[in-house]
């Protein structure tokens, strides 16, 4: 069975970005010219996924509006002679079907994925966090590669990993690889936010997963962990312990994860995308150089 559906959890409260996220979803924050979640969907469609299921929550209707076809806006642009701006709305017509379900209580990422179960049923699916972009301008093909690995190796889960500096392992789910880390490697375990001296590696989960529906049973058995939330990492651990084949795929060199979940990494992502902007990046670079030299 081929993977055509991506679950995109966007129901979190984004408290680390308050007050920015008080009345707007963090997944709609701008990074350069587009909101974060638009990059996520563009990446997924480029990787061959044709169905997107958003797991939304309170205050997230801006996301639904963003992916709707806005006939009034299109008519307005035509009537006011701004046809050239229509191409900015071309993403509305991507060959994607959108579905929405709600996470009615914010009980963590694992719980958000479990909320997708009645819609996903028995089919394999990808998960892409709605607050993380992979690769500059979201050009990553890692999800396509993960789907190929999932299918050819008959895996139960494939997870993307990014090498992080040793002292940053405390912020991430960290891989315990069974052997050396190669283009594809098997996981012996996955440890959530380990202490630096106890981390089994410096390979951190990078916001993209492919799962068989076996993950749902593991999520159902997972008790609330850190911060009283149902952690996706804990369900993956259970999958490994129950004999599931869980594989890791490192992000290709030159590709990185842009996480906008906290201010430091959000600022970094915005700066990287603005500086790489085809139209205004060069002028911004010059401006920043002058600013930094003063």
Distance spanning both ends of the chain, measured CA to CA: 59
- Regarding 112 and contact with ligand UTP (CB under 6 A), the answer is yes
Nearer to ligand UTP, 140 or 177 (CB): 140
- Regarding 14 and contact with ligand UTP (CB under 6 A), the answer is yes
Q: Which of 187, 194, 199, 201 is closest to 238 using CA atoms?
A: 187
- Regarding 248 and contact with ligand UTP (CB under 6 A), the answer is no
Cβ(140)–Cβ(206) below 8 Å: no
Tokens 């392992």 found at: 169
Nearer to ligand UTP, 37 or 185 (CB): 37
- Regarding 102 and contact with ligand UTP (CB under 6 A), the answer is no
CB-based closest residue to ligand UTP: 12
Beta bridge partners of 23: none
| Selected range binding ligand UTP among 43-51, 101-109, 149-157, 272-280, rule: CB under 6 A | 101-109
Nearer to ligand UTP, 12 or 248 (CB): 12
Least gap, CB of 227 to ligand UTP (angstroms): 8
Q: Kindly state the tokens that stand for 9.
A: 């959890």
Handedness of CA 114, 120, 123, 129 (dihedral sign): negative
The helix/strand count (H/E) of the chain reads as 10, 13
| Selected range binding ligand UTP among 5-13, 118-126, 169-177, 212-220, rule: CB under 6 A | 5-13
CA distance 206 to 143: 11
Q: Kindly state the tokens that stand for 238.
A: 């259970």
Q: Kindly state the tokens that stand for 161.
A: 């990993």
**Could you say which of 109, 114, 164, 269 contacts ligand UTP (CB under 6 A)?**
109
| Selected range binding ligand UTP among 12-20, 180-188, 250-258, 264-272, rule: CB under 6 A | 12-20
Contact partners, residue 123, CB within 8 Å, separation at least 6: 1, 3, 4, 5, 213
- Regarding 129 and contact with ligand UTP (CB under 6 A), the answer is yes
- Regarding 11 and contact with ligand UTP (CB under 6 A), the answer is yes
Instruction: Using CB under 6 A, list all residues that contact ligand UTP.
Output: 9-16, 27, 55, 103, 106-109, 111-112, 129-131, 261
């Amino acid at each position: 069975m081929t993977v055509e559906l991506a679950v995109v959890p966007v129901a979190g409260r984004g408290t680390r970005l308050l007050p920015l996220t008080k009345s707007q979803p963090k997944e709609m924050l701008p990074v350069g010219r587009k909101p974060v979640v638009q990059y996520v969907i563009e990446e997924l469609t480029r990787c061959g996924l044709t169905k997107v299921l958003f797991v939304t929550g309170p205050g997230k209707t801006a996301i639904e509006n963003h992916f709707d076809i806005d006939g009034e806006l299109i008519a307005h642009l035509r009537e006011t002679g701004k046809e050239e701006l229509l191409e900015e709305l071309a993403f509305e017509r991507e060959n994607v079907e959108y579905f929405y379900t709600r996470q009615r209580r914010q009980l963590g990422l694992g719980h958000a994925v479990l909320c997708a179960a009645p819609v996903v049923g028995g089919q394999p699916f990808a998960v892409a966090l709605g607050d993380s972009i992979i690769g500059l301008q979201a050009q990553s093909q890692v999800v396509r590669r993960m789907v190929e690995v999932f299918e050819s190796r008959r895996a139960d889960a494939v997870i993307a990993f990014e090498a992080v500096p040793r002292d940053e392992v405390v912020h991430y789910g960290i891989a315990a690889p069974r052997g050396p880390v190669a283009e594809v490697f098997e996981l012996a375990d996955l440890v959530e936010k380990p202490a630096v001296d106890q981390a089994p590696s410096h390979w951190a989960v990078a916001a993209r997963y492919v799962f068989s529906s076996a993950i749902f049973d593991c999520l159902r058995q997972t008790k609330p962990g850190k911060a009283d939330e149902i952690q996706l990492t804990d369900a993956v651990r259970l999958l490994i312990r129950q004999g599931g084949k869980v594989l890791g795929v490192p992000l290709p060199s030159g590709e990185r994860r842009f996480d906008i979940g906290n201010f430091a990494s959000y600022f970094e992502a915005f700066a990287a995308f603005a500086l790489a902007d085809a139209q205004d990046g060069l002028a911004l670079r010059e401006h920043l150089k002058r600013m930094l030299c003063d």
